[in-house]
Structure formats: C-alpha cells, structure tokens
Amino acid sequence: MYRNELDHIIINKRFCLTDVAVLRKFYTGSDHRLLRGKFSFTRRAEKAAKFRERNPRTTINWDLFATLAGFWEDSAMDNIDEEYDQIVEHLRDSTKNEGLEF
C-alpha cells in the first residue's frame, strides 16, 4: 500500500468529530481515498444555532439603481490626450481646493 497517507478533515469545533476512517473499497480513479467521519452535535449547540443572528439579506432597490444609472455619463474619448488633460486638470483643481502645491 502507500507509506505516506495524509487524511484531513477541517472543522472549527474541537470535539464534534468522533471517528475518522479511510474507505479503501471505493475506487475514485486516482490516488485519493474517501474519508468517513462521524460527527456528534449537542442539543444545546443545535438550539443555539437556531437563535444565532444571521446577516440580513441584501435587498436591491432596482428603481433607484435605474435612476442612478441614467445619470451616468459614458464618456468614451477618441483622443487619449484629451482624457489625460482632463485628469491633470482635475488633479490641479483638487490640490488647489486642499491648499496644496502642484
């Protein structure tokens, strides 16, 4: 058989995994093996999980999205120099407003 077999199951609770075994009967088409693990959960943990706060589902206001998307100006410029000049002008205006030297 194989000399170096590493079996890993990653869990975030320390004592909920009670038994781990490699199932050699199943052929997976590679050198990987199936793992079987037995988990034990307490009733207290199950009840606590029911009352744990969950993140509220994000709702999207599609009417507001459509309105804001209508304000978006898609300004594709043919000349890259014009776009560069606009960026430089914007930086100059921003630094003047902040009182910085440019």
Q: How far apart are CA 35 and CA 28, in angstroms?
A: 12
Reported confidence tier of residue 85, pLDDT bands at 50, 70, 90: confident
Reported confidence tier of residue 101, pLDDT bands at 50, 70, 90: low
Q: Average of pLDDT values for 61-88? A: 77
Q: What pLDDT was estimated at residue 38?
A: 82
- Residues 5/33, Cβ–Cβ less than 8 Å: yes
Q: Average of pLDDT values for 66-94? A: 77
Domain residue ranges in the chain: 1-53
Q: What pLDDT was estimated at residue 77?
A: 57
Reported as a single tens digit per residue, the pLDDT across 17-69 is 777 788 777 777 777 778 788 877 777 877 777 777 777 777 888 888 888 77
Q: What pLDDT was estimated at residue 78?
A: 65
